Amino acid sequence: MRDYRQFYINGQWVDPVTPNDFAVENPSTEEQIGVISLGSAADVDKAVAAARAAFQTFGMTSREERIELMERLLKAYKDRYDEMVEAISLEMGAPIDFAASDQAACGSGHIATALQALKEFEFESQKGNALIVKEPIGVCGFITPWNWPINQIACKVAPALATGCTMILKPSEIAPLSGYVFSQMMDDAGIPAGVYNMINGDGPGVGSAISSHPDIDMVSFTGSTRAGMAISKAAADTVKRVALELGGKSPNIIFDDTDLKTAVTKGVEACMDNVGQSCNAPTRMLIPADRYEEAVAIAAEAANAVKVDKSDKHGDHIGPLVSRPHFEKVQGMISAAIDEGARVAAGGPGKPEGLETGFFTKPTIFADVNNQMTIAREEVFGPVLVLIPYSSEEEAIEIANDTPYGLAAYVQTGDKERAQRVTRRLRAGMVRVNGAPHMFSSPFGGYKQSGNGREWGEYGFEDFLETKAISQ
């Protein structure tokens, strides 16, 4: 069992001010695999003091110094890559192949992309008689989720380091092993003391202390919209900058000029990826009304073909949901959808046969859904897809935009003009056409209640910079 009860503060592994043990489980086996300590406001105070002191020097470092630092970090990440894969597989129950090829790869991808952006970013420009300077904002607080744990850590830490900020990270207490391994990588890379600090803890104990701390200049949070609202309120009294990447209920519009079987099958597979535990998952599939039942049958066949298995097995399958409370939430939403009149075309309540231990959930397809049902409006964060019919392009766009969220959208069409026309009208921060990948160099973030600000690549730099005009 892994003993990860220490925090990383001011370049040292230290004990918490007040011990508060918290068990870490493997959701695939329901067995305890580690223990952390939940921190407190006193631990946050220590970390903030270290970060504030370090900023006096680190905030003035040169581009070249930070490039060298980022290069060392990238090497340290690659050196411990296998440790990161194992940590993510254990804490999330993620299949080992998926943890290696997708989850862990995000960390090195974001570091490498931020490094390249740092080499090219314009920190100074001349406008009229003024020198416009982009300077680091200061001390940053990061609160990250469990669903893509190292992805969200790296896409905040990397640009903060690149721009000269110092920071305090609170990883999710549900999946903290990857954050601990990442902190070891930061130590390996020789990050100056106080620049990077890591405290484990929950929202009430550490998250709220970070959000309201008067000596933290900005907070970057990824998680639920509900929690994002609470963080914004807590940060308001100190008027600190708040960057939010929140929930989604992303539409996937399939038009009748594309191959229906291919588009629907790929849409199901994309929704089930990471057990549906992705904020940008295409969870609402919009289908031409005259081909609706055909699409339902294809979707059911695709969902039934999705394999569910343990995390230590090699192969192309999905694992469990991350925890018992989350499993119970997803099961409750599946039952509520049935009560509201949705038809189960595949999957449904309960666990897959033969997987009684672990928080496994059946890949589920709902038909006879309209956009006002709870299952079509609220984020499930599980392997659950709804199919909604539409009668025209205009109605498809209307349904797609009829959501409090605006993180991502997907369009499947063989008509380039239609693709251009529709994508411009969708109220979402990211639109993917015909399965095109979203690269690390593209901005990640959304409209409406999906948050504010953007992450990834050079676009992720802006939240960590202040703009100064020096007129002379």
pLDDT digits (tens, 9 = 90+) for 50-106: 999 999 999 999 999 999 999 999 999 999 999 999 999 999 999 999 999 999 999
Average pLDDT over residues 376-382: 98
pTM of the model: 0.97
Type and span of the H or E element at 432 = strand 430-433
User: Amino acid identity of 428?
Assistant: A
Residue 182's closest CA among 166, 196, 194, 193? 196
Measured CA to CA in angstroms, residue 116 lies from 71, 163, 449 at distances of: 10, 12, 31
Residue-range domains of the chain with CATH = 2-246+450-471 (3.40.605.10), 251-439 (3.40.309.10)
Percent of the chain past pLDDT 90, that is, above it, reads 98
Q: Which long-range contacts (CB under 8 A, 24 or more apart) does 331-335 make?
A: 331/361, 333/374, 333/375, 333/378, 333/380, 333/382, 333/384, 334/364, 334/382, 334/384
Measured CA to CA in angstroms, residue 291 lies from 86, 189, 304 at distances of: 44, 56, 20
Average pLDDT over residues 392-421: 98
For the stretch 344-370, pLDDT in tens is 999 999 999 999 999 999 999 999 999
Residue 469 pLDDT level (bands cut at 50, 70, 90): very high
The Cα 180–Cα 36 span in angstroms is 10
- Is the confidence at residue 315, as pLDDT, over 90? no
340 is catalytic: no
Type and span of the H or E element at 127 = strand 124-127
Catalytically annotated residue among 245, 379, 455, 458: 245
For the stretch 118-151, pLDDT in tens is 999 999 999 999 999 999 999 999 999 999 999 9
At 344, list the tokens.
């189960």
Mean pLDDT of the chain: 97
For the stretch 420-444, pLDDT in tens is 999 999 999 999 999 999 999 999 9
Average pLDDT over residues 219-239: 97
